[in-house]
Amino acid sequence: MKNAYLWIIICLICLCILLGVGKILLNEEGIILSFGSRVFQDKKYSLWEEKNMIENPDYKNLAIFIDINDKILELINLDNNEIIKKYIIASGKPSTPSPIGHFRIINKARWGEGFGTRWMGLNVLWGKYGIHGTNRPNSIGWSSSHGCIRMRNKDIEELYKIVKIGTPVTISGGPFGPFGNGFRILKPGDRGSDVYEVQRRMKLQGYYPFWVDGIYGEGMKRYVIKFRKDKGLNLTHNIDYSFYKALGIKLIE
């Protein structure tokens, strides 16, 4: 009898430890384990998603197009180029721009109400960016985020059910490709599509030996100065209009 009580006490202690470390959320997509700020998605979600793709063949060939100037997200059926859904979004502030280019959805998760109810992550090299809900619905329609694409919670919840991991996402920010609506002066610590393109151009000219990642870090500063010296430019770590011109980057509409 004493052994039985002992086992019950041990089981209760283990249960308390489990509940203290994390919580298990069971939902229609499967099981998500949340430990602190990290979210682990169970294989059941993948099975749920695969089942939905089979039952809804139209889901198989979708793409997302986002225009951060017009603040519009469109869900497109690539088989006939039909726009299935259209939503208003919020994009990054000028100081923290949204990534511009072609990406894919690499993970999905359910979030708490405090930061929006859904998350769909993108494979952006220079930071953690995604499409997610918000607890600030008044920010929708404006350049107000730290770079992510914000949606109203009811909209992201609808999109989340339709879009699968691997879906292509194109984000357009203006007529100048990775430079959006024009050049910005880049400083150490900046990151973005324009930083990525500058690194790529520098690498092609033999001025950047590192991995092109879209982040203006300490390693890049040295080669910006070397480029400026070789081109007879003022010595500064900033990448300004004279630097763009010497690098051969011209904006043509």
Task: Let me know: does 125 contact 108? Beta carbons within 8 Å.
Answer: no
Please report where in the chains the tokens 């726009």 appear, as a residue.
83
Which residues carry out catalysis?
132, 148
* Contacts with 75 (C-beta within 8 Å, 6 or more apart), sequence order: 62, 63, 64, 83, 84, 85, 86, 159, 162, 163
Pick from 184, 206, 204: nearest CA to 195: 184
143, 183, 172: which is closest to 74 by C-alpha? Answer: 172
Token representation of residue 217: 């870090």
